[in-house]
Structure 1
Amino acid sequence: MSSILRLSLKPLTRSSPLLFTQKQPFLLRQFSSCSIKLQEAQAETSQPEQQQPQISSTKPIPQPTKEVPDVNTFLAKIGRDMTEHADLFENNWEKLFTISSKKLRDSGVDCQARKYILYWRDQFSKGQPLKTYHKLVKKNGGERNLRAYSAEKLIKDRIALAQLQKAYRKSAGQSKHQERLWNTLHYKKEHGLA
């Protein structure tokens, strides 16, 4: 017990583990078994690997149906202008169902389109009918921006109302001015002043 306390109070140096393992045979056995396992794992990884065929997808590729006979029809049915990515798949059914998300990204497909294509690919594999989900538009700037959007809208509405009032006053003033001119002209004609 005293040797454990002595060791715990001393600062560790490069020579400390050697002394520590000499005094504690149980811990030495533990460390040696770990180091043997580590050496075995390193030996396995250092051996030249045999060429194994790389499987990009483990799921079976579904067969085309009457409604969806090819890749272009598939992309047209899911909508959102996915047909612009048709040249990437080269109208190859197997390529559509085996291409990875990383390859899509490297080919320049943006994140939302990539997720949308992969989602519908998975749904089609499960037997779901294809349909278009339109992009959702946030109402009033979204939940997080609701206060700022409401305040900005209120300011814009007040500015628009002030502009309308100003235009109305201007048109009302012009019509009163026209009415006064008309009255003075008729008054002068009636009384022969003009």
Structure 2
Amino acid sequence: MGEGAFRLTLVFQAARRLDRAHQTASTAAAALKDRADAGEPAALSVWGALHLQLAIVAARQNDAERAYREIEVARRAAERLGEDRNDYNTEFGPTNVALHEVAVAVELGDAGLALRTAATVDPSALSPERRGRYLIDIARAHGQRRNLAGAVEALTQAADVTPEQVAGHPLARGLVADLLRMDQSEDPDLRRLAERLGMR
């Protein structure tokens, strides 16, 4: 049930129903808390993953204090696990917590923190989908800093890892559209990326 709530939270976020996402994740996390507190690894994984989603929801609601509080809850759960796991396909563990810290910083417009955190992360053991989403966040951070080359490089890497995900992701496509408007020099790498995504 907790895993189902985790998936439903993602659906609500995609639909921009952030209040429903928060309600769903917080209710499921509360229901799992006793089992997580008891140290059951699968329960800890799902519980921690729910708190990561609560962090993203808070960041999208521009509540930085709550977002980073949820990141810390998830970090403590990951430290208790002591390793990256994939119970119920949550990919929860220390690495995924760091990736979500990058995502939270990007959502809150703190590109510097996002890129500093990203420099400490090795996501190679995670799924292609998770790595691709992480690279989109790195690209967004570079975009916030008006660093066209960095954004294009990260998006190109993301497209190499998960081409379908990047081609259809509204954040990736929106960033490419912004970069095209910003680019005065007709950057060939950006043009190639736009063509690859079917945007030229």
- Shared fold, TM over 0.5: no
User: Which of the two has higher C-alpha Rg?
Assistant: 1
The one of the two structures with greater contact order (alpha-carbon pairs below 8 A, sep at least 6) is: 1
TM-score bin, normalised by smaller chain: under 0.3
- Which protein is richer in helix relative to its size? 2
Q: Give TM-score scaled by structure 2 length.
A: 0.19
